[in-house]
Amino acid sequence: MQRGDGPQKAIDVHISIVGAGHVGKWLFENLATKYDPGKTGVRIHVDRIVAKDPKKQRQGFGEGILSFDLEDAFKGPKTKIVVEAISDLKASRDIACKAMESGKHWVTSSKTMALYPREIVGAAIANRRNVGYMASVGGGTCVLDRISKIPYAINTVVGVLNTTSHFILKRMLLGETYEAALREAQGAGLAEPNPDFDVKGRDGAHKISIVAQRAWNTAVTHEQVCTEPIDTITPVDIQLADALMFRDERGKKHPHVIMPLQVAQMQSGKLALGCFPALVPGNHALTTIGERENAVYIYHEGRKEPVEVRGPGAGEPTADAMISDIVEIAKKDAAGIADPPTLSRRVEVLEPGEMESEFYIRLYTQNVPGAMHKISGVLAKHAINMQMFYQPLLTKRGVRSPIAIIVDKEKGRVVQGALREIEELGYAEDILLLRLFH
Residues of this chain that bind ligand NAP (CB under 6 A): 18-24, 50-53, 56, 70, 85-88, 91, 109-111, 135-136, 139, 314-315, 318
Least distance to ligand NAP from the beta carbon of 229, Å? 19
Q: What is the dihedral of CA 166, 171, 174, 179, to 10 degrees?
A: -130
DSSP assigned state of 80: E
Q: Which is nearer to ligand NAP, 53 or 63 (CB)?
A: 53
Nearer to ligand NAP, 262 or 265 (CB): 262
User: Nearest distance from residue 268's CB to ligand NAP, in Å?
Assistant: 34
Distance CA 340, CA 212 (A): 17
- CB of 77 vs ligand NAP, minimal distance in Å: 21
Give the residue nearest to ligand NAP (CB): 21
Contacts of 386 (CB under 8 A, 6+ apart): 376, 379, 405, 406, 407, 408
Residue number, 265 or 324, with CB nearest to ligand NAP:
324
State the minimum distance, in angstroms, from the CB of residue 168 to ligand NAP: 17
Instruction: Specify the residue, 21 or 306, whose C-beta has the smaller distance to ligand NAP.
Output: 21
CA atoms within 13 A on the CB side of 423: 14
Q: Please identify, using beta-carbon distances, which residue of 18 and 144 lies nearer to ligand NAP.
A: 18
In the bound complex, what is the minimum distance in angstroms from residue 138's beta carbon to ligand NAP? 9
Residue 101 to residue 336: CA distance in whole angstroms: 17
- Residue 89's closest CA among 125, 127, 133? 133
**Alpha-carbon distance 238 to 392, whole Å?**
13
Please, what is the minimum distance in Å from the beta carbon of residue 23 to ligand NAP? Answer: 4
d(CA 384, CA 409): 9
216 Rama sector, left if φ>0, alpha if ψ -120 to 50, beta otherwise: alpha
Q: How far is the CB of 64 from ligand NAP (least distance, A)?
A: 17
Name which of 85 and 434 has its Cβ closer to ligand NAP: 85
110 vs 262, beta carbon nearer ligand NAP: 110
Nearer to ligand NAP, 295 or 379 (CB): 295
CB of 407 to ligand NAP, least distance (A): 37
> What residues contact 332, with CB distance under 8 A and at least 6 apart?
130, 338, 339
b/e map of 368-388 (b: 16 or more CB within 10 Å)? eeebbebbeebbeeeebeeee
What distance separates the 2 farthest-apart alpha carbons in the chain? 90
Which residues make Cβ contacts (< 8 Å) with residue 230, sequence separation at least 6? 165, 168, 169, 178, 199, 201, 260, 277
- CA distances 370 to 306, 374, 405, 418, 425, Å, are 46, 6, 17, 17, 12
Q: Collapsing DSSP states into helix, strand and coil, what is residue 132?
A: strand
By beta-carbon proximity to ligand NAP, the closer residue of 66 and 431 is: 66
Alpha helices in 290-341 (DSSP H): 318-334
Contact 32, 62 (CB under 8 A): no
User: What is the nearest approach in angstroms of ligand NAP to the Cβ of residue 22?
Assistant: 4
Q: Are 131 and 340 in contact (CB under 8 A)?
A: yes
Closest distance of CB 176 from ligand NAP, Å = 24
- Considering beta carbons, is residue 51 or 244 the nearer one to ligand NAP? 51
Nearer to ligand NAP, 292 or 331 (CB): 292
Which parts of 252-313 fold into alpha helices (H)?
Answer: none
CB of 21 to ligand NAP, least distance (A): 2
CA-closest candidate to residue 353, choices 256, 418, 305: 418
